[in-house]
Amino acid sequence: MSNRKLYGDAKLIKELLGKMQLVEEAEGGWATVYKDASSGRFWMKYHTTAGEQSGGGYELLIRLPLPTTQKLVAVAIESPFEDEAVAAVMRLLEEEALEKKDFRHVLVNRLEEMNLESLPTEQKQRIRKVFTLTSLLDPTNKREVKGKTIEQLKEDAAYFENVSKRALILSDKL
């Protein structure tokens, strides 16, 4: 296997798992851990909840230990593999929804550091896809609102408005 951190192609995942040893399965089968005998690396296969509204989540194979937010952002915008980039975005969305991890500011900061105008067309298209999958240009608050004070709601709304404005400037450079 290559130095990839994630796989999102179901056919490729099935092929890879055929070469690995099942180590552990979570109750209910929502996640399974495998060991790649040739490298000694551990991998987790699971279905994200991101995308459930549209038909059932996204199957992921992710190398353990789990990548950091910064690493997932880098994979999303730099991986030469389409399925790995999409899998990274799905993982970011999953962590945002379930673990309340912010990734949007990390993504925008990273993109602001790049010279977007000089990127190859393929990478520009990838970044546009990341914008679409994450709804990065949408200023709507995507955090839970129940049980929050007006001040907390205003802070959340300001966060998404700020990210959206910065992303819009970046989008124009693409």
Residue 29: band (very low, low, confident or very high) from pLDDT cuts 50, 70, 90: confident
> In this predicted structure, what is the pLDDT of residue 54?
46
Distance from C-alpha of 60 to C-alpha of 42, rounded to nearest angstrom:
14
CB 41 within 8 A of CB 35: yes
Residue 144: band (very low, low, confident or very high) from pLDDT cuts 50, 70, 90: confident
Distance from C-alpha of 119 to C-alpha of 125, rounded to nearest angstrom:
10
> In this predicted structure, what is the pLDDT of residue 117?
93
Task: Indicate the pTM of the whole model.
Answer: 0.90
Q: Is 70 exceeded by the pLDDT of residue 120?
A: yes
> In this predicted structure, what is the pLDDT of residue 50?
57
The string of pLDDT tens digits covering residues 34-70 is 999 999 999 999 988 755 444 457 899 999 999 999 9
Which contacts qualify for 27-34: CB closer than 8 Å, 24 or more apart?
Answer: 33/64
